[in-house]
Chain A
Amino acid sequence: MISLSSGILSIVGLAFVVLFGLLMVVLPVIKRPRPGRDLRPLRALTRLRHALSLTVEAGTRFHISLGRGEITHPRTASAFVGLSAAHRLVEATAISDRPAIITAGTGPLGILARSTLHSAYATGAQTNRYRPAYGRVTGLTPFAYAAGAMLAARDDAAAANFLSGSFGAEVALMADGMAGEDTLTVGGTDSVAAQAVLYAAADEPLIGEEVFASGAYLNAGALHGTSLLTQDIFRWLLILAIVGGAIVKMLGVLP
């Protein structure tokens, strides 16, 4: 039996999701997206794009770290964004002498990493160059994963590291271990504590929802740009609702 209040909340929640989805689909029809031109400058992602062109030209390696998100948990969302970005990065570096590698800290993410790698190589018609070893599970506990990912980046001489997924404080060790004279580490996660740690330890941290914007900045897919715009619209709506609610409460209209 569903109570009236939880029923109303469910309808509001579903309406929120449906409206979000509708806007994502309708916005590109109203305003034709111009990939890469409608985006505000984000230093971390601009440097990531620059590093991508450098790795292709200089033949250096890209390392994408997906963290330890469980697929049955909402915290995997940042790893899924990492996979979208990884598809684009792998596709761009597939013809390079030193193709990109992906590390994961759970079995499911390891499988998805290999699937993404295979798919990216297939998109670039480079299937013969694909090696399963480019996608690795480097450890199954937080610190084991951190140590394994650090070693993978070091051993394969990664010049750029992109950390996008679910991490804990151990991400500081990873960022520190991957740091070098000519390396770039861009990191983003959904955990507030890990974001604070990345702010201090990474070359370029991605704060808040910035980690979810990487796909749009790397042209990972048609809906990435519009979903970013939809996020912005809903963020402003939420800000208005919070400020409005605070004013109404101050005026004593709400109990």
Chain B
Amino acid sequence: MKMKSPLATAVAMAVGLVVLFGYFFPLPVFTGLRTLLLQWALILAGTALFVGMVNLSQYHWAQIRNRRKPLGSLVVMISLWLTFALALYASPASAPIQWLFNAIIVPTSVALLGLLAFTLAYAAVRLPRRRPGLMAVLFLGTAVLIMLGAVALPGMGMLPFIGDTLRPWLAQVPAAAGARGILLGVALGTVATGLRILLGSDRPYGE
């Protein structure tokens, strides 16, 4: 692939190498540079958050102009910029912003979490039909056992053996072993991705 912006690639590779060496060798020359570069990255990420807000607004503005579900987009636009203006005026830690967070964002998220429980239960029940096989049955069976072991049933309390022996064993032995195996694979994948970016093969910042 033709490299159209060698300067950007060279800067990305150099910055990546400095941060990598700073991580492995905490010598003042590396750590100072590493800290500075990470601070810049944080400032850029903050600016990018604002760009993200503009991007979100552009999309919803287009939706309003094209009359494609304009009401929802209007609500998003007004609440987004009203909250932003209020946070600028009264500071993010102020009482009105805290109220907005506690009275709107938290209940909405909790409601969606409740919906998530039903969605997951429904998906788990559909799983053996959608992807028939031993693994689907095992998945569903394990999920049922974990749930039975986690809650006290009305009139019965905690189920003996399932609650105090089987559930902890499932969580601490097979599940933990599997999760560690998965995490090792993810770590290797992360190293490979980082190295591809360091070597200039992957350029998420463009060509």
- Cβ-defined contact, B192 with A24, below 8 A: yes
A223 contacts B199, CB within 8 Å? Answer: yes
Q: Which residues of B contact A137 (CB under 8 A)?
A: 52-53, 55-56
Does residue B96 face the partner (Cβ distance < 8 Å to A)?
A: no
CA distance A97 to B50 in the complex (A): 31
Asked if A211 meets B25 with Cβ closer than 8 Å, knowing A24-B199, A107-B53, the reply is: no
Complex-state Cα separation, A14 to B27, whole angstroms: 15
Chain B residues with CB under 8 A of A223: 196, 199, 201-202
Task: Evaluate contact between A170 and B116: CB separation under 8 angstroms.
Answer: yes
Q: Knowing A71-B45, A108-B48, A111-B51 touch, does A221 contact B123 (C-beta < 8 A)?
A: no
CB contact list, A54-112 vs B, under 8 A = 70-72, 74, 77-78, 80-81, 83-84, 104, 106-108, 110-112
Mark contacts of A18-35 with chain B using CB atoms, 8 A cut-off: 1 yes-contact digit, 0 otherwise: 001100110000000000
Alpha-carbon distance between A147 and B69 when the two chains are bound, in angstroms = 15
Q: Number of B residues whose C-beta is below 8 Å from A?
A: 68
Question: B56 is contacted by which of A21, A115, A138 (Cβ under 8 Å)?
Answer: A138
Q: Is the CB of A141 within 8 A of B193?
A: no
Shortest Cβ gap from B130 to chain A (Å)? 8
**Hey, which chain A residues are within 8 Å of B112, CB to CB?**
143, 146-147, 170, 173
**Interface residue? B159 (CB, 8 A):** no
For the complex, count residues of A whose C-beta is within 8 A of B.
Answer: 82
B81 at the interface (CB under 8 A from A): no
Residue interface mask B188-200, A partner, CB < 8 A = 1: 1111111111110
Which residue from chain B places its CB closest to the CB of A224 in the assembled complex? B196
- A/B pair count, beta carbons within 8 Å: 205
Smallest beta-carbon distance A143→chain B, Å? 5
Q: Collect the chain B residues with CB atoms within 8 Å of residue A115's CB.
A: 204-206
CB distance from A49 to the nearest CB of B (A): 19
Interface residues, chain B, with chain A CB atoms under 8 Å away: 1, 4, 20-21, 24-27, 38, 41-42, 44-45, 47-53, 55-56, 58-59, 62, 68-69, 105, 108-109, 112-113, 115-116, 119-120, 122-124, 127, 130, 139, 179, 181-186, 188-199, 201-207
Binding site for B on A (CB under 8 A): 2, 10-11, 13-14, 16-17, 20-21, 24-25, 70-72, 74, 77-78, 80-81, 83-84, 104, 106-108, 110-112, 114-116, 118-119, 122-123, 132-133, 135-143, 146-148, 155, 169-170, 172-173, 175-176, 190, 192, 195, 197, 199-201, 203, 207-209, 211-213, 215, 221-224, 227-228, 230-231, 234-235, 238
Q: A224-B201, A228-B192 are in contact. List 5 more A-B contacts (CB 8 A).
A: A115-B204, A132-B58, A192-B183, A201-B120, A208-B185
12 chain-A/chain-B pairs, Cβ below 8 angstroms:
A20-B192, A20-B195, A78-B186, A107-B49, A110-B55, A136-B56, A172-B119, A173-B119, A201-B123, A223-B202, A224-B201, A228-B192
